[in-house]
Amino acid sequence: MNQPTDTIPTEIKSFFGKEYLLLILAAVIGVLAGAASTVFRWMIDFFARVFSGEGLLMGLSAGLVMALMPFMPMLGGLIIGVTRRYFPEAVAENGVDRVMEAVVLKNGKIRKRVLTVCALTSSITIGSGGSAGRVGPTVQICSVIGSVFGQMMKLSSERIRIMVGCGAAAGIAATFNAPLAGMIFVMEIILGEFTIHSLSPIIIASVMGTVTGRALEGNEMTFLTPVHEVVNPSEIFFYLLLGILCGITAYLFTQCYYRSQKFFDEQVNISIILKPALGGLVVGLLALLTPQIRGNGFLEMEQVLNGNLFWGMALALVFTKIIATAVTLGSGGIGGTFAPSLFIGAMVGATFGAAVHGILPEWTASSETYALVGMAALASAVMQAPLTSILILFEMTKDYTIVLPSMVCCIVATYTMRRFTKNSIYVQTLLNRGINIQQGKAISILSTMFVRDVMTQEIVTIPEEMPFKKILEIVSYSRHLYYPVVDREGDMVGIISFTDIRDAAQKEGMEETALARDLATSDVVTLKPNHNLNEALAKFSDLDVEQLPVVKVSDSKKVIGLLRRSDVQAVYNREILVSELKN
């Protein structure tokens, strides 16, 4: 089958040029997505008034309004439950993970109805007081615009994916008045690649989205905060500790999120209509203790960033916000996890900052600075996207002095999270549904291919009693990087790498005394012929090696071949190319 081509009229192509036309389309999508992002925020504000004393509770006494407010998230949840019952397919397509799935597995094609359903359900969930964020739905809404526009223009599959990225970048840029962050978000999370071919239109879309957002709502920073500073160079140590704390909290947040989903799916045996209402009721009652957990929490974040929130309340909000968000989304509410991540991170940072500033006031900044850095760090850990978080923090505050601590804290938080899991919240959500996507690539392609199909049986084994001088002779004629060491029965007892041999050759006396068993690493990680290439690739990444020995299924000591990482990558690239040609 021939590779798909764009079907834009030839006259237009010849007038503008193929690449310039793509930039023009990106600019148009940027404007539309920027406008859609702004309208979505207006919808959230509208429903927030509807579910308050200005709407459904208008005319009631202040005491009655306060008594009924806990039931507003339940009412919003009931509306979402009805939507889930009668429009299940449309609602199921919501979320950043769905955009990633569409980009990788569906050639970037997203149905038009997702735009309206996502906008309505998300704004009702957030506006009624559910604990969820607006960023995820914004990405979904604006990605639909890019996808639909690309399909209307009958672009190729590759370019439709880029148009999806353009929409998402413009939406993020307009939401936070942050064009750089919008661009990096798409490249780091949605597309998972940095190439000039895709980067150029995404930059244009991000800029146009920002300009459109400014035209509709003004050129204002997301958070108005005081100027921050690093008081003492040694203070960077405390940001390292904050990064570790944020990484651990991020893991707690994601685990609560997953377990809440599982609990409501498997343990709550009530109608699908009532599940979001039940979740809303729990959140409403929880809000009686900590009303700050309602909605996306941007106003509350600005409070803590300006030092207007007691550290004890900030500490309580870490846990209540985690529970409220997990219950809201786990029960079936529609919204994102990015804003709750920012909220929780700000509270963790404020609490930590109050502690260290109380102990060392002359050496450390105020709690507001730590709240700001913690906000970015926890979001970085949850999304596994440090570049996006660092840039969003800078562009939201326009405060360059905070860049250094935020860089350190975001990286440490991200790697602390990776000690528990290597997947972002979006990738793990897909994995929980049986879809294996990682860093924008369809790793599932490798799951259908096996080690036996790619390994080489041309191996060079070294007897364990072989002298080092003889080993050097063998290596000089071989192109392998690793050599299994075997005993007299042919059983593998270790492995020697080319690096081991090179290092040993630089030591005096090795040629006369050393034997193969003296150089060999006895703790050998192996593969079996029936392992799929996805499993093999994971081992290559974990160990950071270029070759692994393959052993018999029935006997893990009998080496039958070697698998090279480069061969796995070549197979993957070939399959991706074949898939593109078929589309």
Cα angle value 470/472/474 (rounded, 5°): 75
Parallel, antiparallel, or unpaired for β 482-486 and 462-463? parallel
- What is the rounded CA–CA span in Å between residue 25 and residue 202? 10
Please tell me the predicted confidence (pLDDT) of residue 243: 95
CA distances from 67 to 52, 285, 292 (A): 12, 10, 16
Please tell me the predicted confidence (pLDDT) of residue 576: 61
Report the amino acid identity of residue 284.
G
Please tell me the predicted confidence (pLDDT) of residue 440: 44
pLDDT tens by residue, 428-463 = 888 777 666 654 454 556 666 888 888 888 888 888
- What is the rounded CA–CA span in Å between residue 18 and residue 16? 7
Please tell me the predicted confidence (pLDDT) of residue 227: 63
Fold of 10-217: Clc chloride channel (1.10.3080)
Q: Are 333 and 126 in contact (CB under 8 A)?
A: no
Q: At 542, list the tokens.
A: 């974990």
pLDDT at 30 over 50: yes
pLDDT at 578 over 90: no
Radius of gyration (C-alpha) of the chain in whole angstroms? 27
Hey, CA dihedral for 461, 466, 468, 474, is it positive or negative?
A: negative
Q: At 210, list the tokens.
A: 């920002």
Q: How crowded is residue 424: how many other Cβ atoms within 10 Å of its Cβ? A: 24
Please tell me the predicted confidence (pLDDT) of residue 445: 62
Burial class (CB in 10 A: 0-12, 13-18, 19+), 489: exposed
CA distances from 319 to 7, 94, 246, 248, 364 (A): 53, 26, 13, 13, 26
Residue scoring higher pLDDT (92 or 255) = 255
Q: What is the DSSP letter of 2?
A: P
CA distances from 183 to 177, 187, 257 (A): 12, 6, 27
pLDDT at 545 over 50: yes
Q: What is the dihedral of CA 239, 245, 251, 256, to 10 degrees?
A: -130
Residues in the chain: 583
What is the DSSP secondary-structure string of 256-303? HHHHHHHHHHHT--S-TTTHHHHHHHHHHHHHHH-GGGSTT-HHHHHH
Q: pTM for the whole thing? A: 0.75
CA distances from 510 to 318, 485, 514 (A): 59, 18, 5
CA distances from 210 to 149, 201, 486 (A): 19, 14, 63
Is 233-432 a domain of CATH 2.60.40.420? no
Average pLDDT across the chain, whole number: 84
Q: Are 123 and 157 in contact (CB under 8 A)?
A: no
Residue scoring higher pLDDT (121 or 91) = 121
Q: Are 454 and 446 in contact (CB under 8 A)?
A: no
Same topology, domains 10-217 and 444-582? Answer is: no
pLDDT at 14 over 50: no
pLDDT tens by residue, 172-228 = 999 888 888 889 888 888 887 666 677 889 999 999 999 998 898 877 766 666 666
Name the residue ranges covered by the structural domains of the chain.
10-217, 233-432, 444-582
pLDDT tens by residue, 456-508 = 888 888 888 888 888 888 887 777 788 889 988 888 988 888 888 888 877 77
pLDDT tens by residue, 316-375 = 999 999 999 999 999 989 998 999 999 999 999 999 999 999 998 888 888 888 999 999
Instruction: Please give the class, per CATH, of domain 444-582.
Output: alpha beta
